[in-house]
Structure 1
Amino acid sequence: MPQMAPLLWLNLFIFFCISLLIFFVMNYFLPPNSKTKPAFKSSKMSSLNWKW
């Protein structure tokens, strides 16, 4: 039914807004992942000169 199309788009828009709001709230309140130090760290790999 064509007359139902605006209601469908309204529901999709509301769902999108709520999802976006939840995304921003979670990004604001949840801390970022802390970078753990790798178990294997070679000093040779970190001091390589990549310029030929």
Structure 2
Amino acid sequence: MPQMAPLMWLDLFGFFSCSFIMFIILNYFMKVPSEKINSPNTISTKENYWKW
């Protein structure tokens, strides 16, 4: 029936909205913590390694 076609688009819009919201939520919680970037094990570049 042609009168039922808008319901299909409403269903697709709801599926897209739920998928997009889940995508945003998962990206928020799977973000890399900023503590790993500033780890204390990095070598300081201010030291001179050559001898004079």
Q: Is TM-score (shorter-chain normalized) higher than 0.5?
A: yes
Q: TM-score range by the shorter chain?
A: 0.5 to 0.7
Q: Which runs of 5+ in 1 are unaligned?
A: 35-52
Aligned to 2:6: 6
Which runs of 5 or more residues in structure 2 are unaligned? 37-52
What fraction of aligned residue pairs are identical, expressed as a percent?
55
Larger radius of gyration: 2
- Structure 1 residue 18: Cα displacement: 0.2
Q: What does residue 22 of structure 2 align with?
A: 22
Structure 1 stretches of 4+ with a deviation exceeding 4 A read: none
TM-score w.r.t. the length of structure 1 is 0.57
